[in-house]
A = this chain, B = another copy of it.
Amino acid sequence: MTANGRPQAPLMTNTQADRVKEVARLAGRPSRSRRREFLAEGPQAAREAVRLHLGRVDAGADGVVVDVFATGEALARHDDLAALLASPDAPRLRRVTPEVLAAMSSTVTPQGFIAVCRFVDTSLDEVLASGPQLIAVLVGVRDPGNAGTIIRAADAAGAHAVILTGSSVDPYNPKTVRSTVGSLFHLPLVNGAQLEGLTDRLRGAGLTILAADGYGTTDLDELQDASASRRIGVTPEGIALRLDSQPAPPRGDTVRLEDPAAWLFGNEAQGLDDTVTEEADARVAVPIYGSAESLNVGTAATVCLYASARAQRES
């Protein structure tokens, strides 16, 4: 018997077992789509998956973790996770040899843990009904690492949800899951959202639509200055005069960074399509002070989301 009163299953040693192959196939999209399951690899992702699972079960909902596979060595090293897995509502834990874990894993360094999880995404309706103040929308972001970075940054900035349009990378791609470092389990995710009508729906929920666009005509710094000046009761012109003897152009007046917002982030190579930026309330550029031609989309998204979060929290 184990600590949670269930009989302990035998150690899995057969790298050729059907279940091992089944888990390994979740590295590929066809198998993920068919089973609506994905891999959370490594102790951090597995821990966050188990935490979400326990929270949902505690709230009377279905859990998200089907199975946790772990080596004895990893369980000994991560005793906090081992303790979580010993709680009564924990998902099933299967102990495996390092060889079995490696055969299941999509990575060369699985770090001793793989959680097989059910898809965690929710619907756009549900997200919009929750009164979100800050949302990140990925419109055709194709690189798994960039998508993961944005999900992690959205979580860090306290965003309320992340929406991926159908043209974006699969958030359940193992590389994306890894690069979210657990954040995939922290905030609501909408996957495969239809682009058509999306900005109308977001605006209908009270969100200002900000398109992150390196060629945008609205400067993020100016939005931040205008927001700060409203907060402390000085006119933007007052600040501008102190900053620079030339008066600042009257930009950033139409959108307010402290207002609830949905940020749109586009494809790595092409950026956002004109048809999308035209629907936005502003096309906002992160200023480039040096010689770089542009910022990586994950990096730009972090700067934009933090700017909104800061303005919203201080207003």
Contact = CB atoms under 8 A, between A and B. Distances in A.
B242 A289 contact: no
Given A221-B310, A299-B302, A292 B155 contact: yes
Given A154-B290, A298-B298, 16 more contacts: A149-B298, A153-B292, A153-B296, A153-B299, A156-B289, A156-B299, A157-B290, A159-B290, A183-B291, A231-B239, A231-B242, A232-B232, A232-B242, A233-B242, A302-B302, A302-B303
Interface in A141-188: 145, 149, 152-159, 179, 181-183, 186-187
A210 interface: no
Given A288-B156, A309-B289, A313-B289, A181 B294 contact: yes
Interface of A: 44, 145, 149, 152-159, 179, 181-183, 186-187, 221, 224-225, 228-229, 231-234, 238-239, 242-243, 286, 288-296, 298-299, 302-303, 306, 309-310, 313-314
A280 to B, nearest CB: 22
A290 B243 contact: no
Contacts of A239: 231-232
Q: How many copies of this protein are present in the complex?
A: 2
A290 to B, nearest CB: 4
A56 to B, nearest CB: 15
9 contacts: A149-B296, A156-B288, A156-B292, A183-B290, A187-B291, A228-B228, A232-B232, A232-B242, A243-B314
Nearest to A239: B232
Contact of A181 (B145, B157, B292): B292
B242 A296 contact: no
Nearest to A312: B289
Contacts of A157: 289-290
Contacts of A290: 154-159, 183, 186-187
A231 to B, nearest CB: 7
B292 A183 contact: yes
Contacts of A159: 290
Contacts of A313: 289
A192 to B, nearest CB: 23
Contacts of A149: 296, 298-299
Contacts of A228: 228
B293 A182 contact: yes
A157 B286 CA distance: 10
Nearest to A182: B293
A302 B306 CA distance: 11
A293 B152 CA distance: 9
